[in-house]
Amino acid sequence: MNLTQKDIERSLRGAGASTNTEAATRSLLDRAETEGLLDVAYARLDSPFGELLVAETGKGVVRISFGEESPDEVVEELAWTVSPRVLEAPARLDPVRRELDQYFEGRLHDFTVPLDWQLISGFQTKVLRATAAIPYGETRSYGEVAAEAGNRRAFRAAGTALGRNPLPLIVPCHRVLRAGGVIGNYGGGPEMKEALLKLEGALPDA
């Protein structure tokens, strides 16, 4: 008997009553993937800055959210923009969970998990590719990132592109500052941005 997505979701909700919840959930997720019903896997991960929601496709990490973004709204957004076949599958996110943990502990300087860039297009692609190349412990201004993206005058557009970054932390928009080194805005708040830069040694601790 083939499973439908509703069958999978119904079974996962009922897995809490199972005597072996983890095994039952893994079995259902394996069947979902085998039968082509799992295009986007997501997990809620703990961090020093609160809960993160991380999602991936077969190509790589496609979305990271935190701060004021509602996890339920992000999952709904993924269903509309990527695929309706979205399921919570924490084990699938173990590699990125490990790298994020190591990053927050100061032990990881360069992420190696693959990325899926499908939620990014146009000038934003150039801006975020340039941002992804900023080394750990360094910063750039919006103008410098705009220049790297091919239009040094488009610093406001660069700021907009960074504000819509679907892959924060891994694509380190926190390393982009206003002119004069002013911290500026950030999805998790300026305090989180400052803390990340201090973690990386890009700002003095005091």
Residue 113 has pLDDT above 60, yes or no: yes
Is the sign of the CA dihedral 176, 50, 107, 202 positive or negative? Answer: positive
Residue-level pLDDT at 193 = 97
Overall number of domains in the chain: 2
The answer as to whether 10 is a domain residue is no
**CA-CA distance, 106 to 98, in Å (whole number)?**
12
Band of residue 1 on the pLDDT scale cut at 50, 70, 90: very low
pTM assigned to the model: 0.83
Rounded mean pLDDT of 154-179?
95
Q: Count Cα neighbours of 204 within 13 Å in the Cβ-side half-sphere.
A: 1
Q: CATH number of the domain at 192, please.
A: 1.10.10.10
| CATH number of residue 57's parent domain | 3.30.160.70
Comparing 13-27, 53-67, 149-163, 165-179, the range with the smallest average pLDDT is: 13-27
Q: Considering 74, 145, 173, 203, which one is annotated as catalytic?
A: 173
What SS3 string covers 72-124?
HHHHHHHHHHCCCCEEECHHHHHHHHHHHHHHHCCCCCCCCCCECCCCCCCHH
Mean pLDDT of 137-155: 94
Residue 99 forms part of a structural domain: yes
pLDDT range class, residue 59, cuts 50, 70, 90: very high
Residue range of the domain that includes 67:
37-119
The pLDDT value given to residue 203: 85
Would you say residue 118 has pLDDT above 70?
Answer: yes
pLDDT beyond 80 at 30 = no
Is residue 108 located within the same domain as residue 154?
Answer: no
Indicate if 52 belongs to the active site. no
154 and 115 share a domain?
Answer: no
**pLDDT at residue 146 greater than cutoff 90:** yes
Which pLDDT tens digit goes with each residue over 81-103?
A: 999 999 999 999 999 999 999 99
Given this model, what pLDDT does residue 7 score? 56
pLDDT reading at 21 higher than 70: no
Please determine, for residue 132, whether its predicted confidence score (pLDDT) is greater than 70: yes
